[in-house]
């Protein structure tokens, strides 16, 4: 038993050393990557269900790592937040996305994800103004996606920031709605223009219950004056079910397109807007 115990201990210690080391390498790597221009934005369309046209493209971060290949944003964002690198990285993402949107047909907007830490920076409003000014993008073509975690802290400050963005003409979307700390009160307490219903609502939608839930949330959001997006639509059956009652305005998911590089999204937009 003693030997086992020691073995286990050694194993843990090695694992910990490895993960601390791995983490340190990742941090150094992230700083280098920003300087070396290894980040890239992919774009995924949101499609209007009535017109079938692309209304918005969401910018999604990718890291082309020289050794590890493509690294997921799920692994990048939390580390960048802890390192304090999210401010620089977020600024790069916002500016790049605004510049790319300028190359798209006039009616198409860009959606940019803001992590909670990025949103709660003191000068977030200036960052947004600067990105719009530097790119020449009209504010009406920028949508900022925040999650419920951004609404949970520092309520008065958050309310002010959202109101300033709204008066500037920028739209705010509540991302991943229905996950985490969902509270219906967020929907009427904050000035939000769009709700993105999380794709977990589509799981088992062919059976009655989740569909009732999704429709309830969609109707409530629509009645509060927000447009409603359903994320993660993968099948025609799901599309028919969510579109049936006319409440859902837009959909996004692999059924329409996976996230694609900038050059490919321009091709998709040209095709969508030529019709």
Q: Which of 55, 56, 109, 115 touches ligand C2E by CB under 6 A?
A: 115
Q: Which of residues 13-42 bind ligand C2E (CB under 6 A)?
A: none
Residue 45 touching ligand C2E (CB under 6 A): no
When CB distances to ligand C2E are compared, the closest residue is: 253
Q: How far apart are CA 105 and CA 109, in angstroms?
A: 9
Smallest distance, Å, CB 145 to ligand C2E? 6
Q: Is the Cβ–Cβ distance between 228 and 197 less than 8 Å?
A: yes
Strands (DSSP E) contained in 4-155 are 39-48, 54-65, 69-71, 109-113, 142-146
Q: Is the Cβ–Cβ distance between 108 and 54 less than 8 Å?
A: yes
Residue 234 touching ligand C2E (CB under 6 A): yes
Note the helical H segments in the chain: 2-36, 73-83, 86-101, 116-119, 124-135, 148-152, 155-168, 184-189, 208-223, 236-243, 262-274
Residue 74 touching ligand C2E (CB under 6 A): yes
Query: Between 27 and 81, whose beta carbon lies closer to ligand C2E?
Result: 81
The option from ligand C2E, Ca ion, none interacting with 77 (CB < 5 to 8 A, set by class) reads: ligand C2E
Residue 250 touching Ca ion (CB under 5 A): no
- Token pair recorded at residue 59: 């910018």
Tokens 């639509």, residue? 233
Convert residues 164-203 into a mask of x (bound to ligand C2E by CB under 6 A) and - (unbound): -----------xx---------------------------
Report DSSP state, residue 137.
Answer: -
CA quadruple 265, 266, 267, 268: dihedral, nearest 10:
50
Residue 113 touching Ca ion (CB under 5 A): yes
Strands (DSSP E) contained in 14-126 are 39-48, 54-65, 69-71, 109-113
- Token pair recorded at residue 154: 């520092």
Count of residues near ligand C2E by CB under 6 A: 20
Smallest distance, Å, CB 14 to ligand C2E? 30
The option from Ca ion, ligand C2E, none interacting with 138 (CB < 5 to 8 A, set by class) reads: none
Binding site for ligand C2E (CB under 6 A): 44, 59-61, 72-74, 77, 93, 113-115, 175-176, 232-234, 253-254, 259
Name the site residues for Ca ion (rule: CB under 5 A). Answer: 113, 145, 175-176, 231
């Amino acid at each position: 038993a003693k030997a086992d115990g020691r073995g286990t201990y050694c194993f843990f210690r090695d694992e910990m050393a490895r993960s601390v080391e791995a983490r340190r390498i990742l941090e150094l790597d992230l700083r280098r990557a920003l300087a070396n221009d290894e980040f890239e934005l992919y774009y995924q369309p949101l499609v209007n269900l009535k017109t079938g046209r692309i209304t918005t493209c969401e910018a999604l971060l990718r890291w082309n790592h020289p050794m590890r290949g493509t690294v997921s944003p799920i692994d990048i964002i939390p580390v960048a937040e802890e390192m304090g690198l999210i401010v620089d990285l977020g600024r790069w993402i916002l500016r790049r996305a605004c510049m790319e949107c300028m190359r798209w047909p006039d009616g198409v907007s860009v959606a940019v994800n803001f992590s909670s830490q990025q949103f709660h920076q003191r000068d977030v409003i200036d960052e947004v103004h600067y990105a719009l000014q530097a790119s020449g993008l009209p504010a009406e073509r920028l949508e900022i996606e925040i999650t419920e975690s951004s609404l949970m802290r520092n309520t008065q400050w958050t309310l002010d920031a959202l109101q300033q963005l709204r008066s500037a003409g920028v739209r705010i979307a509540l991302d991943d709605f229905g996950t985490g700390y969902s509270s219906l009160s967020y929907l009427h307490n904050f000035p939000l223009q769009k709700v993105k219903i999380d794709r977990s609502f589509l799981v088992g939608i062919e059976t009655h219950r989740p569909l009732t839930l999704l429709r309830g949330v969609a109707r409530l959001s629509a009645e509060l004056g927000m447009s409603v997006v359903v994320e993660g639509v993968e099948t025609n059956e799901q599309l028919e079910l969510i579109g049936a009652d006319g409440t859902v305005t837009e959909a996004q998911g692999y059924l329409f397109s996976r996230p694609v590089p900038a050059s490919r999204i321009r091709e998709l937009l040209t095709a969508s807007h030529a019709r």
